[in-house]
Structure 1
Amino acid sequence: MDGAQISLFGALALGLVYGAAFCYRGKGPVALLVKTGSTALLALWAYLAGSPVLLVAALALSSAGDAFLALEGERWLKPGMAAFFLAHATYVALFWGLEATPRDILNSSAQVVLVFAGAGFARWLSPWLGEMRWPVFAYTAVILMMGAAALRLDPVYWPVTLGAIMFIASDMILSLQLFRKPADQPVGTVSSLGVWTLYFGGQALIAWGMLNALA
């Protein structure tokens, strides 16, 4: 077993542990290490497997975002969002540099539906955002660009497209937890499991789909 395989299995193991034991509980140093370790090992796997540098950078930035969001206190929300903003911008650059499927009505319609649905969701959420309104709007714009870029990819990259949509779905659920859940109400176990499964599964699919297509 080489270093790339060890990194992949380590990432999957930590991802499962975080989902099973930590994602629906309070924050803490162990949870932080398990969470950030899972995505950091995905980045290491991508690097050791010879993937494009933009993929490694996007995964590494996502791991940094995980670290910020795993810390106690609302002051870490903006740095976490900034790290993920950069990760999505990196994904946009990566996806737009890949082979695209010929444009057709289905492809274009999917992109239009995604963008309008995402913008509508952000507009609906805006009354609860307070001072986070413009950061959330900027973040929404870049993640929708990432999704639109993924939807144009050649069918050989279907895991990448699926992973990108899962990532967007994860962020939508997380935004409801952050901005719509009453402060005195605990985070639901099911929604927390949904956020982590969609997020980590999406990241893993993006990395695997990219490496598999470029092999």
Structure 2
Amino acid sequence: MSNLPILLGLCFSLAYFPLTSSAPSWPRSAIKTIPLLAFALAAYLADMGPYLVAGLFLSALGDLGLSRDGNGPFLYGLSAFALAHLAYILHFLGVSGAPLWDAFWTAPVVAIALVALMVSTEVWLASHTGHLQWPVRIYVVIIGAMGLAALTLPFGWTVVGAGLFIVSDVILAINLFRMSDTHHHRLKAGYAVWAFYIAGQALILWGGLQG
């Protein structure tokens, strides 16, 4: 029953690839938003728990916000994704039954590397975000905590999915705040952001389906 929404979401995610560099429009926003709405429906139909359903649904709202132009929609999208990560944290910790700091025991090298990446954003990201500096800082802490929460789980699809989500956001941050509109890698970065993001979300969903 949950397979049909997953297939629908994957089909729309493929349809969005040619639109990654297109000008904002409501059809483009709809195509970008549908995949995570479909994933959320799949999680709901499979009774995978409220926090995972909420994380996927809030991610769809984040996609809608980031598909539009302007600082207002960007902050809306950033806030929705921050809430999605909080939902994922609750879901991952609920599944693992472990506190967040257990990540430093179960996967110490990766956990320390993740914290180092979070700290490094003060050098290569925060100073380039202008008046969005504090919202971006808060978001970095929350997504980092999501990654640590995933590391409390046994290594599997969910952990890989969370890692791909973080990679996607790192590329997005570089694309938004460190690349000019005419940068020769900007189009490739847009494709990479969407590919890592959809793969990450799909694997988080798949990990939930696998129990």
TM-score normalized by structure 1? 0.90
Residue equivalent to 2:110: 110
Residue equivalent to 1:203: 201
Question: Equivalent residue of 2:179, what SS?
Answer: coil
Alignment of 1:151-170 (within 5 A): 151-155=151-155, 158-170=156-168
Measured after TM superposition, the shift of residue 30 of structure 1 is 1.4
Match of 1:79, as an amino acid? Y
Structure 2 counterpart of 1:56, from 53, 57, 67: 53
Measured after TM superposition, the shift of residue 125 of structure 1 is 1.3
Match of 1:177, as an amino acid? N
Alpha-carbon spacing, 1:94–1:39, altered in 2? closer, same or farther (3 Å):
same
Cα deviation 1:70-93 (Å, max 9, x = unaligned): 112232111110000000011111
Match of 2:55, as an amino acid? A
Residue equivalent to 2:189: 191
Q: Is the 8 A contact 1:100 1:154 kept in 2?
A: no
Quote the Cα distance in structure 2 between the aligned partners of 1:109 and 1:70: 35
Q: Is the 8 A contact 1:8 1:45 kept in 2?
A: yes
Alpha-carbon spacing, 1:124–1:72, altered in 2? closer, same or farther (3 Å):
closer
Alpha-carbon spacing, 1:122–1:194, altered in 2? closer, same or farther (3 Å):
farther
Cα deviation 1:47-97 (Å, max 9, x = unaligned): 111111110000000000111111122321111100000000111111111
Q: Is the 8 A contact 1:122 1:140 kept in 2?
A: no
Measured after TM superposition, the shift of residue 138 of structure 1 is 0.3
Residue equivalent to 1:72: 69
Quote the Cα distance in structure 1 between the aligned partners of 2:11 and 2:27: 15
Alpha-carbon spacing, 1:164–1:107, altered in 2? closer, same or farther (3 Å):
same
Q: Is the 8 A contact 1:36 1:66 kept in 2?
A: yes
Measured after TM superposition, the shift of residue 107 of structure 1 is 0.9
Measured after TM superposition, the shift of residue 186 of structure 1 is 8.0
Q: Is the 8 A contact 1:35 1:67 kept in 2?
A: yes
Alignment of 1:1-215 (within 5 A): 2=1, 4-19=2-17, 21-99=18-96, 107-155=107-155, 158-183=156-181, 188-213=186-211
Instruction: Report how many residues are paired.
Output: 208
Q: Which segments of 5 or more consecutive residues in structure 1 lack a partner in the other structure? A: none
* Greater shift in the superposed pair: 181-190 or 76-85: 181-190
* Greater shift in the superposed pair: 113-122 or 32-41: 113-122
Match of 1:72, as an amino acid? D
Quote the Cα distance in structure 2 between the aligned partners of 1:211 and 1:123: 39
Q: Is the 8 A contact 2:29 2:67 kept in 1?
A: yes
Q: Is the 8 A contact 2:103 2:148 kept in 1?
A: no
* Greater shift in the superposed pair: 176-185 or 83-92: 176-185
Match of 1:63, as an amino acid? A
Q: Which segments of 5 or more consecutive residues in structure 2 lack a partner in the other structure? A: none
TM-score normalized by structure 2? 0.91
Question: Equivalent residue of 2:138, what SS?
Answer: helix
- Of all paired residues, the percent bearing the same amino acid is 33
